[in-house]
A and B are shown apart, each in its own frame.
Chain A
Amino acid sequence: MRNDPADQRIGNALIEYRTNMYRVAYSYMNDRDDALDVVQESCLKALRACSTLKNTDNVKAWLLRITANTALDMIKKNKRSCPMEELPDRGETDSYERMELMDMLGKLDDKCREVMVLRYFEDIKIADIARQTGENVNTIKSRLHRAIMKLHGEYEKDTEAL
């Protein structure tokens, strides 16, 4: 029986935020099965890393950052074995809209993408993101700004092309 309070907190958080973890994972993997793998692996990592969770940490931010990093690791691994572009198109039920989201996120570098997802889609406070990434608040803010500028630019390009 594990009764460590950090463990309990993580256990609760895994239940509470599992759908958030899945969406973060999916936003990187763009594939249901891969996203499920990422979530499972992230749960294991979180439980193993429970000693790194401090009392003052926002547990959702902590968990989602682990998820994002796990997704990135898996993408790197996949790339080594099979370049993403060559993966067969699974042709699932992805709507046009979903493709826009994935398309846009794909245009961002890893760091911008992370802050974008955590701040705007998962409502994590900038201060909490900064804490988890070990960077200062202004760095995160400017990264967010850069992400938005980039997205906006891409959006303009797309509409002009139409």
Chain B
Amino acid sequence: MEMDSDKLIFRLKKQYNAIEIPGELNERVDSAMNGAGVHPGAGLRHGRGFMRALRGTAIGAAALAAAFIGVVNVSPSAARAMQDVPVLGQISEFLSFRSFDDEQYGVEAHLTIPEISGMENETAQINLNRAVNEYVDSLIVLHNDDVATAKKAYIEDPELMEESETVHISMTNICTVLTDNDEVFSMRLTTDIVMAGAQELYKCFTVDKRTGEVISLGELFRENSDYAEVLTGIVARQMVERAAEDEGVCYFAEEEGFEGVSQVQNFYITDAGTLVLCFDEYEIAPGYMGAQTFEIPTEEIEDILFGGLLK
């Protein structure tokens, strides 16, 4: 009986997690945040000069959107993000946003691209913005591929064109600042891709404000250290612990899921200087578990640390 209930709950939970997320959700959350008393122009009253720079740059034609990368836009989501700093976490720097909006053949992309300015270490700022742009460019390539595929399908079957108002694929992203202190700036771009199902892609960026370098995981550790293996061991152990603690927790078995921590693993550093490893949805666990993060206790890796960012 106990077992049967477990199975039943597990099955219901799977169904629950299969509830499709409509593309409109982001818009509705945005509009609620806008409606909560923060109005356009609030920034100006507080002397935020950059609001002025945004005036009159509204962009219309979607077909030309690709050409506008690099232009500051006043799309509702970008404007929201600028007025409503709460969504960005505690930051000392200025964040402004460019946006990429394109909609063709039922494929749409609405990307908000953060641009950091006012960081004391200018090299850090340049490097960070460059890394973000390279990543966003790769998303745009993905989007363009999807558009090309959809276009081809329409050419082959013109009847599809009549239904072209139906969005088949939509891509949106959101920026969250995770840590911002004297030494470290970590942020995450979350990209939602909605097709038949929904998937979230995460990309974290961390810049060492002392050196100005955007850091990769390996740079936190001594050269020639076996950091990937050490981290793999810690993550594997935490997975077992979590699964033992809560029967609802489930990870893919090793051969099909967790293949170990890689050199390009997503990570960020907390304000306290702790390393957090991030895995995408579906990467190591069934969809209902969502994206997974693992905090790595610094004392377990102190033998191989390098650079002093981790505490």
Q: CB within 8 A of A23: which of B16, B38, B190?
A: B16
Max chain B Cβ within 10 angstroms of own Cβ: one of A9, A14, A15: A15
Q: Does B62 contact A (CB under 8 A)?
A: no
Residues of A in contact, count (CB < 8 Å): 42
Give Cα distance in the complex from A26 to B18, angstroms.
11
B residues near A15, Cβ cutoff 8 Å = 29, 87, 174, 176, 190
**Cβ–Cβ contact A98 & B29, under 8 A:** no
Give Cα distance in the complex from A4 to B37, angstroms.
14
Residues of B in contact, count (CB < 8 Å): 46
**Cβ–Cβ contact B18 & A97, under 8 A:** yes
**Cβ–Cβ contact B19 & A27, under 8 A:** yes
Closest to B177 in A: A12
Q: Does A68 contact B (CB under 8 A)?
A: no
| Secondary structure class of chain B's binding surface, majority of residues | helix
Q: CB within 8 A of A8: which of B5, B11, B86, B198?
A: B86
Q: Does B25 contact A (CB under 8 A)?
A: yes
Give the distance to chain B from A18, nearest Cβ to Cβ, in Å.
5
Number of contacts between A and B (CB, 8 Å)? 123
**Cβ–Cβ contact B86 & A7, under 8 A:** yes
Max chain B Cβ within 10 angstroms of own Cβ: one of A1, A26, A39: A1
**Cβ–Cβ contact A121 & B13, under 8 A:** yes
Q: Fill in one digit per residue for B11-39: 1 if any A CB lies within 8 Å of its CB, else 0.
A: 11101111101101110110111011110
**Cβ–Cβ contact B28 & A120, under 8 A:** no
Known: A22-B21, A40-B29, A120-B13. A3 touches B8 (CB 8 A): no
Q: Does B43 contact A (CB under 8 A)?
A: yes
Known: A8-B89, A40-B31, A120-B9. A19 touches B22 (CB 8 A): no
On B, residues with C-beta under 8 Å from A are: 1, 4-5, 8-9, 11-13, 15-19, 21-22, 24-26, 28-29, 31-33, 35-38, 42-43, 46, 48, 83-90, 174, 176, 190, 198, 246, 248-249
For the complex of A and B, 6 pairs with smallest distance between CB atoms: A11-B86, A43-B32, A101-B15, A47-B36, A8-B86, A11-B87
On A, residues with C-beta under 8 Å from B are: 1-5, 7-12, 14-16, 18-19, 22-23, 26-27, 32, 36, 39-41, 43-44, 47-48, 97-98, 100-101, 104, 117, 120-121, 123, 148, 151-152, 155
14 A-B contacts, Cβ less than 8 Å apart?
A1-B43, A1-B85, A2-B84, A7-B86, A12-B86, A22-B21, A32-B22, A39-B28, A43-B33, A48-B36, A97-B18, A98-B15, A101-B16, A152-B4
- Supply 7 further A-B pairs (C-beta < 8 A) apart from A15-B87, A40-B32, A121-B16: A2-B85, A12-B88, A36-B25, A43-B32, A97-B18, A151-B5, A155-B8
